[in-house]
Structure 1
Amino acid sequence: MKVIVDDNFWEVFPDAQISILSVKGLNNQVDESQEPYFQDLLHQASKKALAFLPDESFSQNEVIQEWREAFGKFKTKKGARSSIEALLKRVSQGREFRPINPLVDLYNSISLAYALPCGGEDVASIQGDLHLGKAKGGESFFPLGAEEDAPALPEEIIYYDEAGAVCRNLNWREAQRTMLTENTKDAILVIEAVNPRQKVRAQEAMEALNQLIHDYFDVTGQVTHLTHQQPSVTI
């Protein structure tokens, strides 16, 4: 299986970096005895996230402006925002994060601590290769809890496979079909960066995420930073 960033993505974001972490042989079952660990991990990450919100006006913070500018460069569903904006909004409102499942909790903690969009997919649920690029339009998409198809728009930037859209608007919202669950054994985790400052943070963030996964699951993943010069990886 390959992860491929299409040429039309680099046309929009030539300086971007899509960091990929492939991990295999996981036991992602929820262990209630570990809930205090994950609760504290998310709490500490939320405190670190405050460093990225120095301006009282939420929309004026640099990280928010960077991602809104990025989302202005391609066709999006009305109201779509980067996943990191949604997390930081909760931090700004003083809202606590509750554990979901180990993999999701680990990447959410990294997303918060480094103020970068993170996501993850179940490898077993992906059909063919996983691509990131512009949608043709009409790619099938069922987000969590949806009963009706919400297909991608033409020119929208999506993650997709042979069966349809996996994530819409970069990492804004993901399909229930490929989401990480307690039954996930093999996973692809992604951290997105669209400018040089974010790229440096993303490399540090991916190292930290790989270490967290190693410490919790006793599994070491394969890290690749995809760029215009290296747009694909086989996992």
Structure 2
Amino acid sequence: MNKFIIEKSFWDIFPEANVGVLILKNVNNMRETSNNIKKLLEESNKEAKKHLTEEQFSHNPVIAVWREAYQKFKTKKGVRSSIEALLKRVEKGSGISSINPLVDIYNSASLKYGVPCGAEDIETFEGDLILGVTEGNDEFYALGDEANSPTLEGEICYRDDKGAVCRCFNWRDGQRTMITENTKKAYVVIEYVNAEKNKDIEKALEMIAYYAEKELGAEKSALKILNINENTIDLI
């Protein structure tokens, strides 16, 4: 049975981090995005404005905490956390548009609770999924790219036996493991660099599980918040 494992190299940098994991099975993501999900995403785009109370975008706590975190490991120049990318679009007034049902659901949770949220297709993994500091040169094809963009030495990333799954902590997923209409089993993850958002992480994951079950017929196989003392979960 494959596992998700958080390596010591990650905890050496973020010893107080918490990583929430939700595993969904029997997902039917081939459906058209329902009106309920569209409404959820629309409402979450509006609600996300509560995270943007400071005049200067980078001074908002939900942004500042990740700007600081990204100073602690090697990254590609100019990359930002996924929650910053979402909230930047909200600030500009464009908001987040529909992609596919499951992605819309987890983007809604991300916007509502102000936490970075990502998901991958478990059935595309080769071996265990690892979060840690990489030695570099892990194969990675970003969404929409035709050229390999390998990881850097000292970069935090999610990776499996074939290469990188998500680069620069929670910056960007790759083509190989992305959620598609054919996804049946999904790994959903929310990270935070300390315990301040644990309740929000749990609420966000429960929200995703609820709508995935209601709208996509999915089943919640596991939900767990990992930390330095409990850093592994089976990808059941």
Secondary structure at 2:37 match in 1: helix
Secondary structure at 2:143 match in 1: coil
Secondary structure at 1:197 match in 2: coil
Q: What letter is aligned with 1:2?
A: K
TM-score by length of 1: 0.96
Moved over 6 A (4+): none
Distance 1:79 1:199 in 2: 28
CA contact (8 A) 1:68 1:81 kept: yes
Deviation at 1:170, TM superposition (A): 1.0
Secondary structure at 2:197 match in 1: helix
CA contact (8 A) 2:24 2:185 kept: yes
- Name the counterpart of 1:44: 43
The RMSD of aligned alpha carbons is 1.1
TM-superposition CA deviations, 1:20-79 (whole Å, max 9, x none): 1111111101415x2x33322111111211111111211111111001001111111100
Pair 1:26-2:27 in alignment: yes
Distance 1:171 1:80 in 2: 10
Distance 2:167 2:96 in 1: 23
- Name the counterpart of 1:8: 9
Q: Which runs of 5+ in 1 are unaligned?
A: none
Distance 1:16 1:199 in 2: 10
CA contact (8 A) 1:39 1:97 kept: no
Q: What letter is aligned with 2:224?
A: T
Deviation at 1:199, TM superposition (A): 2.3
- Equivalenced residue count is 233
Q: How does 1:44-123 map to 2 (within 5 A)?
A: 44-123=43-122
Deviation at 1:195, TM superposition (A): 1.7
Secondary structure at 2:212 match in 1: helix
Deviation at 1:185, TM superposition (A): 0.6
Residue identity over aligned pairs, in percent, reads 45
- Name the counterpart of 1:159: 158
- Name the counterpart of 2:197: 198
Q: Which runs of 5+ in 2 are unaligned?
A: none
CA contact (8 A) 2:28 2:218 kept: no
Pair 1:176-2:163 in alignment: no
CA contact (8 A) 1:116 1:193 kept: yes
TM-superposition CA deviations, 1:166-221 (whole Å, max 9, x none): 00011101110000000001110001111222223212211222222222123331
- Name the counterpart of 1:227: 227
Deviation at 1:152, TM superposition (A): 0.2
Q: What letter is aligned with 2:229?
A: Q
Distance 1:10 1:177 in 2: 27
